[in-house]
Amino acid sequence: MSHSGYKGKSLEFLEKNKIEVGNMVRVKADSTYSGILMPRYEYSDDDHIVLKLKNGYNIGLQIEKIIQIEIESHPSVKKENTTQPQTDPKLPKILLISTGGTIASRIDYRTGGVSPALTAAELNASVPEISKIANIDTEVLFSEYSENLLPEHWRKIAEKLNSYSRSEYKGIIVAHGTDTMQYTAAALSFSLSGFPKPVALVGSQRSSDRPSSDASLNLISAARFLVETNTNGIFVVMHNSISDDEIACHWGTRVRKNHTSKRNAFQTIGGSPVFIVKKDTIEKNPLFCPSEKPYNPKINFDSQVMLMKYYPGFDPKLVDHAINSGYKAIIFEGTGLGHVGKVMYESILRAKRKGLFIGMTSQCIDGIVRMTVYDSGRDLLNLGVIPLGNMIPETALVKAMWALGNTKDINEMEKIMQENIALEISD
């Protein structure tokens, strides 16, 4: 029998009642529940069983409080319409590259789990509205949770996009987990600066088995954005509010994930989204002027960069550790206008003498670094710390990795970090 993840008392309970993972069961406890018995992860306790209810949410039930449990039905595979979508020669073509995440997914009716829809046929079954917007080709690059992505993954995505820079596709969707999507967006913005097509990184805060899922609408809106706007560059396309009224298209270097679970977790820092997708229209931010730089891909990254958030009590030995460990650049998240305490000065001076790049951002969510206002800021400028305007700290980290990957000269790196490559410094 299948009891994936169950052990001890919970396993004995299931075996005694001849219940398997994937069974539709009715449980009488403090109330009566009906749902699919879900597998459990390997570190779970042995006091509970987990059901996926018909509304898509999971619930844990304590075994000692269960009065009765019975099987309503055995697992079966629900057949879906996974026919290949019809190609309409009148519609433009879009490529969807999957890197992981749950932007388009289906329920596995044997286990109640969610699996990604990766083929054109599966995508058509999950989000049939897409086939009325464009002809979609799909490609799986890799399948990883976004917290597992490294600069080498950014390079693979950038190289794949570069291979389609002169293709017939109107635009490209990159399905991506939300946790590190802002880092990938920044990496692509720098390495593919001037990319001649629009690229939409799309994620989902809530998986498609939940009634509040944002997966389908984010994907549909991204397809509309690519088809209906005449623009280019790297964007993050996600909900603009907790409702389904608006989907925001954020510029790739000015976006940040500001909430763990809300559907509108992503926000443009220092301004408004560059496009808003509504039911019948797509509105452009009149202040948005995309870069007209020629396309000149530079797809290299060097991860020997450290992001340090300064705080009262910060140990300056951490800077010395970075020096001794071979790091070549440090990005500070300073306080206010771009400050760190004077206890840091000697270590920063040693880092500069060793040839490290030291950049300053602010840990404030919005606003610009101005290091000439107070003595402490001027002292840091005198030590060689480079102010980075209103660049988001995570964007500055990625830019430093990219700059370091394309030059080993500290003076050249300082010039690159202060140059507005991909609208990472906004007015």
What residues are annotated to the active site?
102, 178-179, 257
Q: Which residues pair with 173 in a beta bridge?
A: 96, 200
Q: How far is the CA of 329 from the CAs of 304, 360, 397, in angstroms?
A: 7, 11, 9
Kindly state the tokens that stand for 354: 């060793």
Question: Residue 104 contacts by C-beta under 8 Å, 6 or more apart in sequence?
Answer: 116, 117, 122, 123, 126, 127, 175, 208, 215, 216, 219
What letter represents residue 263's amino acid? Answer: R
Q: Other CB atoms closer than 10 Å to residue 253's CB: what's the count?
A: 30
Classify burial at 2, counting beta carbons within 10 Å of its beta carbon; exposed 0-12, middle 13-18, buried 19 or more: middle
Residues 418/386, Cβ–Cβ less than 8 Å: yes
Residues 106/54, Cβ–Cβ less than 8 Å: no
Query: Closest Cα to residue 317, out of 353, 361, 360, 348?
Result: 348
Q: Which contacts of 409-412 are long-range, i.e. CB under 8 A and separated by 24 or more positions?
A: 410/355, 410/356, 410/357
Length of the chain: 427
Distance CA 115, CA 299 (A): 31
